[in-house]
Structure 1
Amino acid sequence: MTIGEFVERDASMHPPALSPAYKTSVLRSPRNALVSPRNTLSEITGPVFGANELGEKDNDLILNFAKDGLPIGERIIVHGYVRDEFGNPVSGALVEVWQANAGGRYRHKTDRYLAPIDPNFGGCGRMLTDSNGYYVFRTIRPGAYPWGNNTNAWRPSHIHMSLSADGWAQRLITQLYFEGDPLIERCPIARTIPTVEQVRSLIAQEDPASNVPFDARTYRFDVTLRGRRATFFENTVPGAPR
């Protein structure tokens, strides 16, 4: 494994921590400018995961919690590549996902939304990227749901993602939206993102060529993590005049 510092995060590519239209950011955002120290061993190294630590159905959210039947909702496949910002594949990264069910309710004791719990849907899964940085999972398309940002706020359909790669500085928690969802442009969380182009980077695109006939639609979602600084060699011939 290559050991080296990661490049600094470009703050302009991320939403500001304080975004008053997103109410909960007011209390949890820092009040002072952030300090960016040089990477230490705790940032440039990370956990190593093995395939033997995962179950065979961990990346199949349709089956991994099903008991007496299959979950209700539109069956979908999400796949894509995890790369660093220099285009290098990130292999062996742990990708964890969690989401609401087709009615927009999470299997969590604090979720009191009136949509019913689906007894055959757990709403979470995990997988490792292969040598090309590729990942794939099956699931049910999550439903939209109301939330307390204001009296008529609805979250777009989305899936949460957590990625742990070969350095803690690459750690990323994000969420993907779905192409064509009109709630995205009205979502206070999505509207904290600086540009339309950056919002698009969080939208999974339909990939009809990869659909499973009479079974599931497919969406493509690629993820970019921080890259390591490279030390370039001099491309000169020894003894040649400079």
Structure 2
Amino acid sequence: MSDGSFYQRDRTWHPPAYTPGYKTSVTRSPQRALISLDNTISEMTGPVFGHGMIGELDNDLILNWAKDGEPIGQRIIVHGRVLDEDGRGVPGALVEFWQANAGGRYRHKKETYLAPLDPNFGGCGRTITGEDGSYRFRTIKPGPYPWPNGPNDWRPAHIHFSIFGLGFAQRLITQMYFEGDPLIWQCPIVATIPDRAAVERLVAALDMANTVPMDARAYKFDIVLRGRRSTLFENRMEGN
């Protein structure tokens, strides 16, 4: 593993912090100019996770909350790899995920949507990436839901992700959408992203080759974290 610091973020790839079409950004966005700081040792060296911290059903949202039956909805598998900017797999990354149920409702005490809760679906889980950066989990395809941004705004079906890589500076929180969903291109949050190619990187492709016949469809979603500046050693990238 190379011990260089992480690349600076390419902020042109990310949405502007202040986007009035996404109303809550008005109060959440910074009011002063950003300050650029070098990586600290702690940002480059931690945290470290292991498979021992993961429960048997943490990566199975179909079963990890089930009480008197399985949840209602389309059964799916989400899989892919966590990579860095140089295309290398990131092993040992903690991948956490949470979502609404098939009706578009979250299990949250402040939820206001009228869709019913599913008593057998909790909507959250986690896993650790393998040596090649791969991850996989089972779940129910979430439903879209309305939200009070505009008079009739709806969020497309999506799954939230939080990823801890090989250093705190690689931390990423993002969302995954589903191929073919027309609501993606009508969502005010998605519209804050200036580059269509960047939006398409958030859309998971239907992966029929990895479906389980008569059981679950599959979607493939690769996640890219910040890469490291590496030190050249005898004309090779150190750590390769």
TM range (shorter): over 0.9
Between the aligned partners of 1:64 and 1:233, the Cα distance in structure 2 is: 47
Distance change in 2, residues 1:4/1:60 (3 Å): same
- Normalised TM-score (structure 1): 0.95
Deviations, residues 205-235 of structure 1 (Å, cap 9, x unaligned): 0001111000001000000000110112354
The within-5 A match list for 1:78-93 is 78-93=78-93
Q: Distance in 1 between matches of 2:68 and 2:21?
A: 43
Tell me, in whole angstroms, the C-alpha distance in 1 between the residues paired with 2:41 and 2:123.
34
1:98 correspondence with 2:102: no
| Structure 1 residues not aligned, in runs of 5+ | 236-242
Report the 3-state secondary structure (helix = DSSP H, G, I; strand = E; otherwise coil) of the residue aligned with 1:27. Answer: helix
Aligned length: 235
Partner of 1:49: 49
In 2, distance between residues paired with 1:155 and 1:122?
20
1:139-162 deviation per Cα after TM superposition (whole angstroms, max 9, x unaligned): 000000000101100000000000
TM alignment of 1:214-233, pairs within 5 A:
214-233=214-233
Q: Which amino acid aligns with 2:9?
A: R
Q: Distance in 1 between the 2:156 and 2:57 partners?
A: 27
**Aligned runs of 1:152-163 on 2, under 5 Å?**
152-163=152-163
d(CA) in 1 for partners of 2:42, 2:183: 39
Deviations 1:111-157 (A, max 9, x none): 02111110000000000000000000000000000001011000000
TM-score, normalised via structure 2 length: 0.96
Q: What is the aligned-residue RMSD (CA, Å)?
A: 0.9
**Which residue pairs with 1:31 in the alignment?**
31
- 1:175 matched to 2:165: no
Q: Distance in 2 between matches of 1:29 and 1:76?
A: 35
Q: Within 1, Cα distance between the matches of 2:22 and 2:177?
A: 17
1:24-56 deviation digits (Å, cap 9, x = unpaired): 000000122211111111211221111111111
State the Cα distance separating 1:70 from its structure 2 match: 0.4
- Residue segments in structure 2 that go unaligned for 5+ positions in a row: 236-240
> Secondary structure in 2 aligned to 1:215?
coil
Per-residue CA deviation, residues 165-217 of structure 1 (Å, 9 max, x unaligned), is 11011000000000000000000000111111110000000001111000001
Is contact 2:3-2:230 (8 Å) kept? no
Structure 2: distance between partners of 1:193 and 1:174: 12
Q: SS state of the match for residue 151, structure 1?
A: coil
Distance 1:60 1:233 in 2: 43
Q: Does the CA contact (< 8 Å) of 2:2 and 2:231 recur in 1?
A: no
Opposite residue 36 of structure 2, the aligned amino acid is S
Residue 14 of structure 1 aligns with an amino acid whose one-letter code is: H
Q: Percent identity?
A: 65
Partner of 2:238: none
Shift of 1:79: 0.2
Tell me the equivalent position of 1:198: 198
Moved over 4 A (4+): none
Supply the distance in 1 between the matched residues of 2:46 and 2:18 (Cα, whole angstroms): 29
